[in-house]
A = this chain, B = another copy of it.
Amino acid sequence: MENRFVEKATGAISDKYRLAILLELSRKGSLTSTDVQELTGLSQPCVSHHVKLLTDSGLVDSKKEGRNVHLSLNKTCIQQLSDFIEKLT
């Protein structure tokens, strides 16, 4: 397990908007960037920036379909992070 992954992934979670996105993805399974804009009330470029942090961290996958981006959780990656943290104990 790479420390750099853990730093990026925890950094991606540690923001109220990004945490809200992760929780909503967990509830709904998938979201578009427009959904995220409605969810957070942030400007479109700002949403684009937060989404990029989430996808760059590996926690979120994005798939472009037509002009929409479909976001979903990368469950493997989330499980890896959870396991890493649990193993600290």
| A interface with B by C-beta (< 8 Å) | 3, 6-8, 10-11, 13-16, 19-20, 22-23, 25-26, 73, 75, 78-79, 81-83, 85-89
Contacts and interface: CB of A to CB of B under 8 A. Distances in A.
Nearest to A3: B19
Copies of this chain present in the complex amount to: 2
Contact of A89 (B3, B7, B73, B85): B73
B88 A85 contact: no
A81 B89 CA distance: 11
Contacts of A13: 6-7, 10, 85
A78 B85 contact: yes
Contact of A85 (B25, B85, B87): B85
